[in-house]
Amino acid sequence: MSTFTAPKGTYDLLPPTSAIFLAVREAISAPARRAGYGYIETPVFEDVKLFSRGVGESTDIVTKEMYNLTTRGGDELALRPEGTASVLRAALQANLHKQGNLPVKLWYSGNYYRYERMQKGRYRQFSQVGAEAIGAEDPALDAELIILADDAFRALGLSDYSLLLNSLGDKQCRPVYRAALVEFLAGLDLDEETRRRAAINPLRVLDDKREAVQAQLVDAPKLRDHLCEDCKAYDEKVRELLTLAGVPFTDDPKLVRGLDYYTRTTFEFVHHRLGAQSAIGGGGRYDGLSEMIGGPALPSVGWALGVDRTYLALEAEGVVLDLPASTAVYAVALSEEAKTVLFAKAVELRRLGVATDLAFGVKGIKNAMKSADRSGARFAVIAGDRDLAEGVVQLKDMESGEQTPVALEALVTTLKEKQL
């Protein structure tokens, strides 16, 4: 143990679990990659104003959870709490929206930072895979993204989750609803801080988790009853396409999400066995975000799926991913000379694409065979001076335990033929 431990709210990813994380990232991005989304990477820190303007001044993320930093040069930066604002900033900066047909479809994978109260499934550094479709207003695009996320979870083997769906309206109908909600909230018994939040974004109050607040919200006006004809038709089309694709959803009129940029379609995937931190992914349409960060009007939609929570969901459902063994062949040398020969063979096998490991350091054969076992290798290659004198090595099938001599010259082709 060293004097240091990982900072609060973070954890180290170690083998063998780390291999599952890699597989989860691969699996949940695969549907988007198959649907024309191109890979994007952006810096882990940005101008703090990108997030305060984009994510919203009334959100917990901006008011309480940002990792702000001032550089030696005096720039005010923040570690990214989410990916959407950065991806849109990057697309605008590179003029991707002017270079071809819209939408610009992008996917990303990385770590995000929120100074949250640590609990299972809620970390200060967490990992997301996200997808954004920038510059098109088309209910088929909203449906496409939702279906891709659902396909991602199903492909991993998850099933005990629901998709919650809501519409937050647009700049036509939201102000009308907002006014009705403000009037309603004015008659409630709310604390100072909640009132302050409500003044910036009254919808935020609907998301308040405290029972005393929720109890007062039972008769709150519902956005669904205030949607304009355009928003209603848009929402119905999204629903129709989801139904056609066989993706079940549940209406959740209280779903406002923790970020301020959403308009129209919003959704969240919640897993039923994760306790309080049950959202395994979420997203929605953000038609005004581009203008909020100084760009042109670019209606867009996207999602981010939580890798840490997807892992926890797999664990909760007892899903075991079928991962290829990291080592196919394990070499055990019984003498110095044999070590030199097997080392060369290991290099050759690796260059041919066969995952090969070998025993290092001075170990007895017993310990070396234990390592071979632990590596999960299909075959062990064992050789001592006597074998080499006869021009052979011993090839042990680790499943059957059967051991056969193979000519040293034929070792590589023999293993290659087994298509490990």
Contact status: 396 vs ligand HAM (CB under 6 A) = no
The residue among 235 and 308 lying less far from ligand HAM, judged by its C-beta, is 308
DSSP 7: P
The reply to whether 282 sits near ligand HAM by the rule CB under 6 A is: yes
- The residue among 87 and 372 lying less far from ligand HAM, judged by its C-beta, is 87
Number of residues that bind ligand HAM (CB under 6 A): 27
The reply on whether position 153 binds ligand HAM by CB under 6 A is no
| Residue 258 near ligand HAM by CB under 6 A | yes
**Alpha carbon distance 82, 44 (integer Å):** 10
Sign, Cα dihedral of 379, 384, 388, 391? negative
x/- string (CB under 6 A) for ligand HAM, residues 72-101? ----------xxx-----------------
In DSSP notation, 258-279 reads S-TT-EEEEEEEEETTSTT--E
Instruction: Name 34's bridge partners.
Output: none
Segment lying near ligand HAM (by CB under 6 A), choices 92-100, 180-188, 273-281, 373-381:
273-281
Which 120-149 positions form the footprint of ligand HAM (CB under 6 A)?
121-123, 126, 128, 130, 132
Q: What is the side-by-side order of every strand in the sheet holding 329-333? A: 356-358, 329-333, 379-383, 392-397, 403-407
Would you count residue 288 as binding ligand HAM (CB under 6 A)?
no
State yes or no: residue 103 binds ligand HAM (CB under 6 A).
Answer: no
Assigned token pair, 310: 């997807």
User: Is 412 in contact with 352 (CB distance < 8 Å)?
Assistant: yes
Contact call for residue 337 and ligand HAM (CB under 6 A): no
Under the binding rule (CB under 6 A), the answer on residue 29 touching ligand HAM is no
Residues 6+ apart with CB under 8 A from 313: 153, 158, 160, 161, 271, 273, 274, 280
Q: Which residues on adjacent β-strands are paired with residue 282?
A: 268, 304
Residue 136: CB minimum distance to ligand HAM, A: 14
| Chain center to CA of 394 | 44
Applying CB under 6 A, does 206 fall inside the site for ligand HAM?
no
Nearest to 203 by CA among 149, 297, 284, 136: 284
The one-letter amino acid at 43 = P
Question: For residue 103, is the peptide bond before it cis, meaning its omega torsion is within 30 degrees of 0?
Answer: yes
Closest to ligand HAM by CB, 129 or 381: 129
Q: Is 195 in the site for ligand HAM (CB under 6 A)?
A: no
Beta carbons within 10 angstroms of residue 240's beta carbon: 12
Site for ligand HAM contains 280 (CB under 6 A): yes
Q: Binder to ligand HAM among 173, 206, 242, 304 (CB under 6 A)? A: 304
Q: Which range in 149-157, 166-174, 236-244, 300-308 contacts ligand HAM by CB under 6 A?
A: 300-308
Q: Which is nearer to ligand HAM, 270 or 393 (CB)?
A: 270
Q: How far is the CB of 77 from ligand HAM (least distance, A)?
A: 18
Closest CA to 245 of 132, 154, 307: 154
Q: Please report how close the Cβ of residue 363 comes to ligand HAM at its closest, in angstroms.
A: 41
Between 58 and 371, CB nearer to ligand HAM: 58
Can you give the binding site for ligand HAM, defined by CB under 6 A? Answer: 82-84, 114, 116, 121-123, 126, 128, 130, 132, 258-259, 279-284, 286, 302-304, 306, 308-309
